[in-house]
Amino acid sequence: MSEEIDLKTSEQLELIRAHKAAIVADLDVHRIIPFLLEQLVLSHDDKQRIEHEVTLEDKSIMLLNILETKAAIESNQDLLPIFIESLKKEYDWLHKSLTETTDAPDSKGLHIPSEEDDNVFESPKHHKVKIMLEAGGVNCPLIAVERKQLVETTRTELKHLKRGQYLVIQGMAGCGKSVLAQQALNSAHLIKSVFPDGVYMLCIGKECSDSKDGLMAKMRILCEKLEETRAPISLEHGAELLRMAFMKRTKALLVLDGVWRSEVIRSLDVGTATMVTTRDVSIMDVVHGRVKELRVDSGFSESESLELFRKSLNFARVEDLPDSARSIHHTCKGSPMVVSLISSLFQDHPDEINDEGRWIYYLESLSKRRYSKIRKNRDYEHESIYDAISLSVDSLTEKKRNYYYDFALFQDDVPVPCPVLQVLWSLERYEVEDIMKHFVRKSLICEELHPSRNWHVYSINSLQLDYLKYQLQCTASDNEDVGSPEQRLHQRLINQYLAKCENFYDRLPDDDYIYIFLGYHLYKSRKFSLFPEIYLNLLFIGEKLRLVGPADLLIDLRKYHEFIVGEDEERMRLIEEVQGFTELIGHIKFGQEDLDIVQLALQNPSFELLQKKARTLALSEPNRLYFEWVGADAKQWKNPESSTVCSDGVRCVKFVGNTGNHFLAGLNDGTIELCDLNSCGVVWRFSGHTHTVQCIDTFESHPSSRHCSGNNNNTIGFKSKLVFLSTSDDGTCKLWTTLDSVIETEAHHHQSNFSRYHHHQNSSSGDNSPSPKVHQNKWTIFQKIQDSSSFTFEFHSGPVLCAEFSPSGREVVSLSTNEILVWSTTDGQILYKNSPSFSSTCSSSLTTSTTTLTPEPIFLNCHFGPATEQDRIPYIIIGTSNQLVLFSLHQTSVSASVEAHNMNLVAVLVSTDWICTVSAHDIALWKIERGESQTIIRRKSLSPRRSFPMIPFPNGGTGQEIKTEVDAKGIPWRGGSGQFLVPSNPSDRFLEDEDFTFKYKSSPSKYSLSVANPGNLAVTIDTGEFFVSLTREHIIPKRSAGLFQCAAITQDHELLACGTSVQKICLYNLQKREFLGEFNTHTGLLRCLDFSTVDEWTLLSGSEDHTVMVWDVKEEIIGRKLPQKGSNFASVFIDSCIVHESGHFLSMFSTDVNTIQFYRDSILIQETNRLKSEITVVCLSSCGKYAVFGTESGEIYHLPQVTMKPFSMRNNTIGKIELVSTALEDKIRILQFDPNSEFLIGISSFGSVLILKNFQPHFRWQLDNRHVIGLHFPFNKYVGFVCGHSKCFLPIVDLETKVEMKGWDGCEVGNVTCSTIRLDSTCLALGTSEHGITLCTLRFGVGVLKSVVISTKQKSAIVSLAFSPDASKLAVGHKNGLIMIWGFSGSSYSEQQSLVLHKSQIRQLLFAPFEIGDRRWLVSCGDRLAVWTVERPVEQIQKTSFMAERRRRKSGDSRPSSRLSLELPQGIKIGKQGKRELLNSFSFRGTYAHHVVSDSSFSKFITVDDTGIYYLLRIMKQVDHL
């Protein structure tokens, strides 16, 4: 019976193999895998193996291989029919062909050996095939590794190869072309089904290609194998004989191995299917149109290299190989030739295969390019690596050979863009591409199209590059004056670039190369004098930061430090400032063309020398506009120690390594980046996740630690490794390994400086790339993203939000939004699974109970509970939306939960004895108590999962008391969670019920939670073996604006850092329960924090703005000398009455300690005492005589006249503050004086209006709860209220009589968001969120005469408006940051110009009150302050005729520049080329500034950003407008 099953299975296998090509071409495995899983044909492990493949074809091949293996091993005759049945629904044509073939009578009993199990080179039953394969060729090597994907691709191409067509396998020397061809033919099924008439192989080679006699000899051998009785007497005669012979064998294959000349192809073009291996694909031009190319650009994978080592050296397992074997693979990038050569060398020393010293000897020979030490291989045709390469190079013409030798300039692993070669060779783009295409076809260069630039990028294999450099050394001269050939080559490149930019270093071309590798070429050319001239040039620094980022500049500054500094102490100070400046603003400048590096240096007072250089540059350009920050004080803000720019938004960060110099960043695109703090650069990228990385956890492993089977049959790590874990929205957890030695090597590489040239002239370290960009580990330039993880766990049903290693590293707990899994890192086996739902329970007795179900919680955090002394983890801690949950790992039915906070939980931070929970609004500390259970568990017959009774909510929630019962033994019990009751012990684990009091503020939506005894809140689980209790003992309220979004804690659990929704970090001392302070961080959403385990004062923060910042919190100021200003301020400019004396700003600020400060320009002059009620708005009269402020409780206060004397600590407070009114019932939103400072208008948040005349209540007015967005005074003693939101309204009221003019009710236009009025008060413009602009015509005595709606093309809401003084322009600011300039022509406005710079909404627009240099200036305020000219500048380009150019040459005059002439009239300001309308911009320290105030000359500006930093800006060299 078993023999019948085996026969049946064999027939099924034969059937599948016969249709394998069609199945692979058409099948999408994702459509049938669910059915195969349901029918138990596939396991989840099989599914993972299939999903690991990249393409659909590869996945189909893997599926068929798995099915064949299962069928062969299990002899299951039902397995393959189930697979065929799965094709019936969506692949009926495949199903039909398979079922019809099954019924064919001639298919019965046919048996074709599988490709894997039946080797045609070894099996005696295929002796005839073996003879045919030996027709002048070579046998497949006895020891070889099959590159499955390449072999399968080759077989697929062979199956579709027709008569007269060619399949060309192209690759450089030693890439394994010949072995690949023979392995592809090592298939009995392929030969019998596709080439039943035989396969004939000829080994051509270099000598035979160059010799007609040699080629004739090969033709005679082939004729003999084809049983042709006549011998060829010439090449033409031989071709004719072979053509006739192959006409009798229409299904034969001719293999030509190692062809060098097109003459060989022409002579052997005999009309049969032909496979050719060659380095030079141009030889196939003689048969153009009949060729299919298959390039072999990549080397062995790591597993393939190790497998070849294992087979060659007779190791039992790959794991037994020394670590140096892997290092050899990475050093040679898996070159088959190098791996084969080293294997053959070990075969001569069989007793030393375990000698670590010999492995290291060969590794060092590769690392130091001593290829003469690697010269022997009895299986290879060339003696050494260089011998193999020289054959290809020598075949070039002299001119092209010289071009090729120029590649000795470049470094290993560095792609060379086409524009670089254009500069080097002084050729046009298309000439360069033609030359490079010749090299590509000869397998001397790899070519790929840049994914974002429209040019080609070229790379050279490291072996070929070393050959070129070796040839340069061989041609070196003894004359030191002329320098070495390599030095002269580098000098030529430098000279070409300097000529290109005319020695303006900031004008070097943006070619993705020179800004990265300029330092390397300067060093190799020995042009040391240029180092300080270039690297201390502020404009060059700006361009390098913009194009390649801060990491590259920092590496160059450290690597070439001695050449830049020399013996100059001032240079030493300057380079230190450049490094600090780069670390501070490098990430801001990166990729931003509109940010001026001179302006950035001017606004950083911490760098005196750099600021001095910037000032010199600014003063040397009279037609450029620059801001000077008057009175800038670096103590106002906190700077990061460094910033690292990542490739996408950052979701999680984690310190790694023992030095504290590296961290991992998980990004939105699924990438994980290993970054270096010293260089601020990315040193490695880990790819594998397809969606956002949510969490990273690390585990330090040791040689004796566990190993886990991973993807591609790899294991997690090896000796001395760091293992880390990541989770993602793609529903997977992944384990990764990183060598500690990699981190240490990168740290050493980035920290080391170059010594002087004479010390390194013979060292290979000079060839190391100074670029921090991730180096290639394969031969291709732009690699396809592949999964580089060691193991993937994919049994979650949704996005995985959090995961954590157990202390031993043997388990991982991970959770998605609705399930918790604990799994083994050894084999991925699930150890614990729970998908609970919680409820709030009220039990009146044990016999009767009611249960109120609550919505299922959303899991957010998971942690293992602290291990016991026996290294046993009895429970896990879960944070849900607002609950803290305990789960027993030993009894899945035992769980308990407590509603820990009133708002969502942000973080759960676990220590040995404490747990810190952070919600969006507060922080709680919980004490952990645990021990052995002393009771007998009594189970209840209720729902298996219940929550601890809920805390009552402020809306009158249903929190209820827990009833206590007494059992038969008199032991008091109280209701708990899970399938049990917990004994009550008030003196030990349980406390009395909580006493909560909610205190409401004036707004019903706001409340604060006051807990009379916060320690009463507790949660406990008791399994009968042990109990764990968490008791809340302290609550720390939030002290800053915004909501908490992330948190981190130091290793000693003393310092807590919390990130807020307004991009601030708040620091708390948990031991003292103190708030230490806060500081501003990123410009984007703050996502994650992490403290260093090496230096507890070092903090990482990651943001959606693509940056990770490093903060030193040790020096964080706990108490400030001056309170921090709020963004709520008022300022007026007061002109001086004294001739030749400028006026000054008088400014009024509210502070974070609820005081009011007064400034004269940048000098503090007075400050109030701390006020009881919170200040909401401040206001100054236009003359600066009156100052008022409003409060949260609806009060309006008047301050006495402010003195202009400087601030004094002895007399620092203002006199008595006068309460003007308490008439408004809610907080004051708006306070504004009329132009004459006679009337004061106050408006509350509910629309109540109070008019005060000379600070006495005049009358009240109600706007029916309308939202007032602004006030205007169109006529004398008249005020207009602009009401927004859904009820748009414009009443105009007489301030004396309260009589209303005709207003405007614009409900049809939607929400009004902003307004502005013309200088002559004849027109009021209203901006809306959806319906464009409404222009209201005003007339005294009438009010609103008419209104006109103007539609805009922009969909973004209008948020700011401004008329020019002559009303000829209307500036419109949108929420997306766009500014549109509307011009008045005829009788209406139309869009004329767009101004693009801002990334977020425009908060204010302000026109200059007069024309400056015949131009109209506009200031925009938002995420930065920008100055524009709304008149398009005309670029004055000098034009010359033909004869004028001839006369210029004869006279010897210099050539006129084609650039824009900057010889403009004095007072005219222009922007940079490409954006002339942008005069300049000033970047705030915070996220944005709300509004700006200008002086009368429009040369000074004052504002405050959202972090409270005060700016008094002055335009440098501003020319008087008169």
3-class DSSP assignment, residue 258: strand
Q: Which residues on neighbouring strands pair with residue 447, listed in sequence order?
A: 458
The backbone region for 1321, taken as left when phi is positive above 0, alpha when psi lies in -120 to 50, beta otherwise, is left
pLDDT tens digits for range 379-408: 445 556 676 677 778 778 889 889 988 998
Query: Span 334-349, mean pLDDT?
Result: 77
> What whole-number percentage of the chain has pLDDT above 90?
22
Instruction: For helices 323-332 and 336-347, give the axis angle rounded to 10 degrees.
Output: 140
Is residue 181 within 8 Å of residue 275, measured between CB atoms? yes
Show the CA angle centred on residue 1520, arms to residues 1514 and 1522, nearest 5°.
Answer: 150
3-class DSSP assignment, residue 1162: coil
pLDDT at residue 521 tops 90: yes
pLDDT at residue 281 tops 70: yes
What pLDDT does 1518 receive?
A: 47
Number of other CB atoms surrounding residue 1024 within 10 Å: 16
Question: What tokens appear for 805 in the block?
Answer: 């290693």
Report which of residues 321 and 491 the model is more confident about: 491
Confidence of residue 1044 (pLDDT cuts 50, 70, 90): very high
Report which of residues 276 and 1474 the model is more confident about: 276
Nearest alpha-carbon partner for 300 in 288, 312, 308, 310: 308
1250 contacts: CB under 8 Å, gap ≥ 6:
1196, 1221, 1223, 1224, 1241, 1242, 1243, 1257, 1260
3-class DSSP assignment, residue 46: helix
Judging by beta carbons within 10 Å of its beta carbon (0-12, 13-18, 19+), is residue 756 exposed, middle or buried?
A: exposed
| Single pTM value for the model | 0.72
Report which of residues 850 and 628 the model is more confident about: 628
Mean pLDDT for the chain overall: 77
Confidence of residue 610 (pLDDT cuts 50, 70, 90): very high
What pLDDT does 577 receive?
A: 92
pLDDT tens digits for range 572-606: 999 999 998 998 888 889 888 888 999 999 998 88
What pLDDT does 1109 receive?
A: 92
Nearest alpha-carbon partner for 814 in 860, 858, 872: 860
pLDDT at residue 21 tops 90: no
Query: Span 1042-1068, mean pLDDT?
Result: 90
What pLDDT does 713 receive?
A: 37
- Exposure class string for 1138-1166: b at 16+ Cβ within 10 A, else e: eeeeebbbbbbbbbeebbbbbbbbbebbb
Is residue 687 within 8 Å of residue 785, measured between CB atoms? yes
What pLDDT does 714 receive?
A: 39
405 contacts: CB under 8 Å, gap ≥ 6:
468, 471, 472
Nearest alpha-carbon partner for 406 in 513, 318, 491: 491
How far, in Å, CA of 668 to CA of 1406, rounded?
A: 38
pLDDT tens digits for range 1405-1425: 999 998 887 788 999 999 999
Q: Tabulate helix, strand, coil % of the chain (nearest 5).
A: 30, 30, 45
What pLDDT does 872 receive?
A: 64
Report which of residues 1510 and 990 the model is more confident about: 1510
Nearest alpha-carbon partner for 308 in 278, 354, 277, 347: 347
Kindly state the helix (H) or strand (E) to which residue 99 belongs, with its residue range: helix 92-103
Confidence of residue 964 (pLDDT cuts 50, 70, 90): very low
pLDDT at residue 1442 tops 60: no
Query: Span 834-859, mean pLDDT?
Result: 45
> What whole-number percentage of the chain has pLDDT above 70?
76
What pLDDT does 1087 receive?
A: 93
How far, in Å, CA of 1498 to CA of 1514, rounded?
A: 9
Q: In what order do the strands lie in the sheet with 1156-1160?
A: 1125-1134, 1144-1151, 1156-1160, 1163-1167
How far, in Å, CA of 672 to CA of 300, rounded?
A: 25
3-class DSSP assignment, residue 371: helix
Question: What tokens appear for 208 in the block?
Answer: 């035979």
Selection from 548-562, 962-976, 1009-1023 with the highest mean pLDDT: 548-562
Report which of residues 962 and 309 the model is more confident about: 309
